[in-house]
Structures are given as C-alpha cells and as structure tokens.
Amino acid sequence: MKLNILSKSKENTQGIASNLAKSLEVGKIIAFHGNLGSGKTTFIQGLAQGLNINTRISSPTFVIFKKYKVLNHKKIKWFYHFDLYRINSLEEIIDLGFEEIINNKNSLIAIEWAEKIKELLPQDSLNIKIKFINKNYRKIVIS
C-alpha cells in the first residue's frame, strides 16, 4: 500500500490522520520522516484525535517520549509519541526502555525522526513521509 495525499491545511492534515487512526491495528509502529516544521507533530495530533485522546499533544523533544491513555478503544490501551530529534545514538533510546515499549502489543506508537533508529524498527512499521510544500500545503506519503 502506498498513498500520496496532498494536505491543504493543518486541519486537513489532522483529519487525514484522525481517519487513519481508526483503521490502525494494535501494536502498530508509525515511523515519521520529514524536515523540521514539515507537519509530523500536526499529523500525530490528528492520530490522537482519532483515538479520542483529549489531552493536548505537543512534541516531546526534551523528554523524548510521552505516553497517553487511550480510553475508548477495544484493543489499543496506550499511545506513545516519540520525538528522536535530540537522540544521537541507538544506545540512548535503548536505555529509555524502547525495546520493551515496542514489544508492548496493546499500544500504538508514533515516532518522529524514525530514521535515527531504523535498525530497531520492525519491518512492518507504517512509514509516513511529510514534505513541506508551502505555508499550508504538505505532501503526505503513507507506505
């Protein structure tokens, strides 16, 4: 599966993500790729909306990851949001318990800057590339 989507606004991006969240399976890892400011966090906010998470989602750049309780889903109990922008080595993320988290099969995991740990990601991870086109438009490739 490969989808190419043109988003015309922040709200459009969040709506696309919200709809995608409703079709994702428990245990899925979503690997995000894109330049700084491309819209990765905006997309992840939409995923959280689709999971009925009402907490404000912001990028966990300084704490590396945040964990959110998912209340109204039959199988997904936790949503993890990783931002690996500040990670410089695989050891740093491993020391945070990353391998235990990705093996937790009742979670959904979104990872910004996933290319930094590609060696640790399962082959069946969902890859989302977001490209900045202009102030409002983004090209989103889901594969």
Question: Is residue 72 scored above 90 in pLDDT?
Answer: no
What is the gyration radius of the CA atoms in the chain, in angstroms?
Answer: 14
pTM of the predicted protein model: 0.94
User: Which tokens go with 71?
Assistant: 């209340």
pLDDT per residue over 107-134, tens digit each? 999 999 999 999 999 999 999 999 999 9
Question: Is residue 1 scored above 90 in pLDDT?
Answer: no
CATH-assigned architecture of domain 3-142: 3-Layer(aba) Sandwich (3.40)
pLDDT per residue over 29-48, tens digit each? 999 999 998 999 999 999 99
Please give the pLDDT value at position 63: 85
27 vs 60: which has the higher pLDDT: 27
Short-list 13, 44, 56, CA closest to 113: 44
- The residues spanned by each domain of the chain are 3-142
